[in-house]
Amino acid sequence: MQFFAINERVKKIKDNEEEINKLVEEYKPFIASCVERVAGRYVNYGEDDELSIGLIAFVEAVKSYNIFRGNFLSFARNVIKRRVIDYYRKEKKHGKVVPLTDYYGSDESEEKDLSINKSIQKYSDDMLNEYRRLEIQELKEELGLWGITFMELVKVSPKHDRTRKAYGKAIRFLLSRPDLIDEIKSKRYLPMAEIERNTGVPRKTLERARKYIITVITIVTGDYRYIREYVDWGGCR
């Protein structure tokens, strides 16, 4: 119920600057905790730039939030996380730009530029891996609210094309019904009877697929752009 209350509050105040400022003040501890998870250290308002980034990101989350992004606090945590990481990436990248000019005019410039390009590529790959790691951690916490673990997902994931297609049919139906997605996320349950009636997928199959369907819906409708590409449900993405 706490998540539902904050979700409704954000929906009502997203165009009201005064109310947004009040919300920011109330959630400064939350913002700081989100920043600290990325920074890996304690931070103080008025001293650390990361917190300024976090405050701006929180306001961005308020203004861009809609109910289909899931719980607002989970969504805001993701936005803050990404903005702080972007800040670190720009800072580190800026530090790499100046030395490039030192190689111009050198006989070994091409070899050195190649080495630098490889370093930049590795850094980019490392950042993508970090994004994915953070999204996986976020997904773990969100699925925990449903009582779903990654170990269980391994067991319930479809092993055959026929099963995958049946699960995919149910998922496509739900994604075509924003009203049902809203209910699923706010009331935390799957409308089995309605899915069966509209897709023809047997109730017994839906019961087995419950945790898998919830997970796919969570990823596809949530802020998980870096791990979404790895989700295969019935041949559709």
pLDDT tens figures, 103-138:
334 445 455 445 545 554 555 566 667 777 878 888
pLDDT number for residue 160: 86
DSSP 157: S
233 forms beta bridges with: 236
CA 30 to CA 89: how far, in whole Å?
23
CA 71 to CA 141: how far, in whole Å?
12
Q: Is residue 191 part of a domain?
A: yes
Contact (Cβ atoms closer than 8 angstroms) between residue 223 and residue 75: yes
The CA-based dihedral angle spanning residues 232, 234, 235, 237, taken in that order and rounded to the nearest 10 degrees: -50
Q: Is residue 15 part of a domain?
A: yes
Q: Is residue 147 located within the same domain as residue 212? A: yes
Q: Is residue 108 part of a domain?
A: no
CA 96 to CA 120: how far, in whole Å?
9
1 pLDDT exceeds 50? no
Name the residue among 47, 220, 214 with its Cα closest to residue 143.
Answer: 214
Q: Is residue 140 located within the same domain as residue 228? A: yes
Q: Is residue 174 part of a domain?
A: yes
Q: Is residue 168 located within the same domain as residue 211? A: yes
Q: Is residue 147 part of a domain?
A: yes
Q: How confident is the model at residue 75 (pLDDT cuts 50, 70, 90)?
A: confident
Look up tokens 């309605």; give the residue: 194
The boundaries of the domain holding residue 41 are 2-103
Contact (Cβ atoms closer than 8 angstroms) between residue 58 and residue 9: no
With a CB cutoff of 8 Å and minimum separation 6, the contacts of 196 are 202, 203, 206
Quick one: how far is CA 67 from the chain centroid? 14
Q: Is residue 66 located within the same domain as residue 124? A: no
Q: Is residue 121 located within the same domain as residue 217? A: yes
Q: Is residue 58 located within the same domain as residue 85? A: yes
Mean of all residue pLDDT scores within the chain: 80
Q: Is residue 86 part of a domain?
A: yes
Give the count of domains, the chain.
2
Q: Is residue 229 located within the same domain as residue 123? A: yes
pLDDT number for residue 23: 94
Query: Mean pLDDT, to the nearest integer, of 140-146?
Result: 88
What angle separates helix 178-187 from helix 161-175, to the nearest 10 degrees?
100
Alpha-carbon distances of 234 from 74, 91, 217, rounded to whole Å = 27, 41, 13
Contact (Cβ atoms closer than 8 angstroms) between residue 109 and residue 117: no
